[in-house]
Each structure stands twice: as structure tokens, then as C-alpha cells.
Amino acid sequence: MKKLLLSLVAVAAFAFSTQAQTEKGKVMLGGNVGFSTSKVDGANKSDFNFRAIPSVGYFVSDNIAIGTGVGYSYDKAVSKGNLNQAFEVAPFGRYYVGLSDQFKFFGQLSVPMAFGNNKAVDADGNTGDKTASTTSIGAYVSPGFAFFPTKRVGIEVSVNGLGYNNYQVKNELTGNKVKTNSFGLDANTADINLGVQFHF
């Protein structure tokens, strides 16, 4: 009987610890880090892309978090003769729905913004003068699932979902602006995002 009682207490404590992950007052830390490199036939140097956007969120009430990501992106495309560097800010709101003690569905609304510039790049990868200023502002709704194997770790799987983006390029010499607006649904299961959030 004593062993059974201790087992029930342990299970109850474990269930409470997983449910407490998304309670009011909790903080989650995560982010996005990635890089890639590719070599185009005929190019002297490889293209290189790097992006780092750490994020922090705060649960303003049970299962509802708001937060932001702040970071930097660097995309040097020698094959296209262009380098784009940008400062990025990505405020978000997230809502969790409990499916079980350890699994939760979530929906996230994010408004990513990037402010940067383009520079010329020669065939040897040398960076030249600034050619344009760039601004990107979007809005995305993304669904996903979170699995909580421990009290402080959430493993997440999500897809891009529904999104809108306004991208503007202002030519440095002429002052002319070119704007591109895009809207669409990108719920491709072949393009799944995997991430980890730490909860405190």
C-alpha cells in the first residue's frame, strides 16, 4: 500500500510539472540558428548564408505567451553578385491547447521584420559598395505541436502556415523603390520546422 501511495504521488508530481510549463508567469527561451553553403559551377567562391535569432517569451496568462526574437542575417550570394545583411525583429503571440500531460498543440502569430542593405560582390567574393536598402515586414500564422519530456524542455514541430510579406528594395543611386507583396499558404509537410524551447 505504501509503495502504491508513493507511486501515485510521483505520477501526480510529474503531471503537475509538465502542465506547469505554460502557466502564467513562466518564461520560455529559444530561437533559430542556421547556416548553409553552396557552390555554383563556374563561381570562384561558395555562397554562404547565416541566420541567428534568439527569442524570449512570457506567459501573460495560462497557455498564452507573448515575446519577440531579435537577431541578424547574412546572405552572401557570390553566384548572384550580391550580399544582404539585415537586423531582424520578430514579435509573436502564442496560444497552447493541452492534448495530454506532455503534448500540446499551439498556434503562433508572428510579425517578422528585417531592415538591411545590399552590397555588390565580385566573382572572388570581395564585398563592394552598398547598392540598396531593404525592408521586409510580414505576418504569419503557424500551427505546431510541443512535446515536454522534462519540466524545462519543450520539443516543437511546426509548419510555416499562412503568411503575408511586404519586401521593399530602395536603390542607393537612383532612390527608386521596388516593392513585392506576397501572400500564401505554406503547410508543406516536407518543410517541417523542428525546435527546442526552454521553460523557466
Joined grid coordinates for residue 184: 500564401
Instruction: Return the CATH number at 84.
Output: 2.40.160.20
- Domain around 132: 2-199
Q: Which three cell numbers stand for residue 139?
A: 505576418
Strands (E), 17-126: 27-38, 47-61, 64-77, 82-98, 103-110, 113-121
Find all residues with CB under 8 Å of 127, minimum gap 6, and list them: 76, 83, 119, 120, 121
**CA-CA distance, 144 to 107, in Å (whole number)?**
6
Q: Which helix (H) or strand (E) holds 186?
A: strand 177-186
Supply 190's cell numbers.
Answer: 516536407
pTM of the model: 0.79
Q: How far apart are the C-alpha atoms of 181 and 164, rounded to whole Å?
A: 7
Q: Are the C-beta atoms of residues 126 and 152 closer than 8 Å to each other?
A: no
Kindly give the pairing relationship between strand 193-199 and strand 27-38: antiparallel
**Count: domains in the chain:** 1
Residue whose entry in the numeric block shows the C-alpha cell 511586404: 166
The pLDDT of residue 40 is: 79
pLDDT of residue 161: 87
Collect all residues with Cβ–Cβ distance below 8 Å to 27 and sequence separation of at least 6: 56, 57, 58, 59, 199, 200
Contact indicator for 143, 161 with CB cutoff of 8 Å: yes
For the chain (length 200 residues), average pLDDT per consecutive 10? 40 43 94 86 85 95 97 93 95 95 94 96 89 96 94 90 94 93 78 86
